Amino acid sequence: DARATTRARATRAATRPRPRATVVRNVVSDESPSDASTPRRRALASIALAPALFAAFDVAPARAATAEERFASVRRDAVELMRADADFGPTLVRLAWHSSGTYDRMGKTGGSGGGTIRFKEELAHGGNAGLDKAIAKLKPIKKRHPDVSWADLIAFVGVVAIEEMGGPKLKFSYGRVDEMDPEAVTPDGRLPDADKGDGPGPKTRQGLRDVFYRMGFDDREIVALSGAHALGRCHADASGYVGPWSGTPLLFNNSYFVLLKGLKWEPNPGAKKFQYKDPSGNLMMLPSDIALIEDADFKKYVDVYAKSQKVFFEDFAAAFEKLETLGTSGLTALG
Ligand code: HEM
């Protein structure tokens, strides 16, 4: 049909090699953060250093001959944004996950394929509170890379953020074609709730399973993906929950599992919403996080990942790659 033809044409256009431009305007450093043997901690070390660079961010279109060059350039731009704003890396991971997490494998709707999370209609969904700011900050990158779809951009910067913050190397595939009509936005309610009204109880656990099974994940993958909560924090003006899960919220490691099982978590009577605190009062867990140690079928994987960061990284990488390709078709693996 006409729509499929347009999609196919757009995919071909997005993947066609571009002529090499003679003038490359790129104010962003040319060093490649991804190829270095130095861990991506460089992004963390330099986070405080470069707010001025961000002010100078250039929106002139970047030219690249190959998809590899194009995405390497996007990576450099994303790293600059992360350096300018320490909170941004974890938020990019949440953005990429929420872009994909609407997928319904029965109805074959939702997922990251159309980049619909950029529409105000989807940003208005309860679970997406605060992500409008992330989309706004990505706009200059999108402008500099008109050949990269919003859908690919959002999925890719999630990968970049995880890698730059010390996480596993992730496979990425491109070729998502943006939906142009907000009608493609799926109904609100497809993302998991941190609390179904019974804290970490059976309703909240069932809620997690309903959402992730709908996408095609199992209990092990639910736990592996939840390990991303090593990163970032809850914001009072977004979800209404407050605080970080770990003491190193810019480092992707297995600390979420170590802390979840190693510390004594108690309800925090000072918090606006029902959440947990550690004995120091500095760290937090959501009811849905605590659910993972109160349910034996989840808990066994918490134990595995607390013991082995290697196994966690392998399982997380596989699950995140799967998450980002749910509901997509005709993607090409980035070399
Ligand atoms: C298991 C069900 C999940 C629930 C109920 C949940 C809930 C939440 C909530 C309430 C926040 C705080 C948002 C804010 O206030 O800014 C948050 C943040 C975050 N979530 Fe999840 N999440 C879940 C799964 C995931 C998954 C699967 C990933 C990624 C693979 C993820 C990655 C993140 C990250 C990185 C942040 C921090 C964002 C920031 O610092 O701005 N979450 N999540």
Residue type, 133: K
Mutate which of 94, 237, 325 for ligand 1? The one with the most ligand atoms within 8 Å of its CB, which is: 94
The two tokens of residue 307 are 């013991």
Residue 103 CA to residue 215 CA, distance in Å, equals 5
DSSP per-residue string spanning 82-148? HHH-TTHHHHHHHHHHHHHTT-BTTTTB-SGGG-GGGSHHHHTSGGGTTHHHHHHHHHHHHHH-TTS
Q: What is the pLDDT of residue 58?
A: 55
From the number of C-beta atoms within 10 Å of its C-beta (0-12, 13-18, 19+), residue 257 rates as: buried
Is 265 among the catalytic positions?
no
Residue range(s) in the chain whose domain bears CATH number 1.10.420.10? 202-316
Q: Is the CB of 162 under 6 A from ligand 1?
A: no
Within 13 Å of residue 71, how many CA atoms lie on the same side as its CB?
26
Residue 211 CA to residue 199 CA, distance in Å, equals 17
Q: Ligand 1, closest atom to CA 238? A: 15
Phi/psi at 234 (nearest 5 deg)?
-95, 145
Residue range(s) in the chain whose domain bears CATH number 1.10.520.10? 2-188+323-333
Q: Is the CB of 233 under 6 A from ligand 1?
A: yes
Weakly modelled stretches of the chain, pLDDT under 50 = 1-2, 5-6, 10-56
78, 33 contact by CB (below 8 A): no
Q: Ligand 1, closest atom to CA 93? A: 35
**CB under 8 Å to 186, separation ≥6 — which residues?**
102, 104, 109, 110, 116, 122
* Protein fold of 202-316: Peroxidase; domain 2 (1.10.420)
Mutate which of 47, 138, 234, 239 for ligand 1? The one with the most ligand atoms within 8 Å of its CB, which is: 234
262, 152 contact by CB (below 8 A): no
305, 257 contact by CB (below 8 A): yes
Q: Ligand 1, closest atom to CA 240? A: 15
Q: Which of 97, 98, 125, 229 is catalytic?
A: 98
pLDDT, tens digit (0-9, with 9 covering 90-100), for 280-310 = 999 999 999 999 999 999 999 999 999 999 9
- In this structure, the residue with its CA closest to atom 34 of ligand 1 is 94
Mutate which of 97, 206, 213, 253 for ligand 1? The one with the most ligand atoms within 8 Å of its CB, which is: 97
Q: Which CATH number fits domain 2-188+323-333: 2.60.40.1930, 1.10.3720.10, 1.10.357.10, 1.10.520.10?
A: 1.10.520.10
Closest residue by Cα to residue 320 from 93, 11, 77 = 93
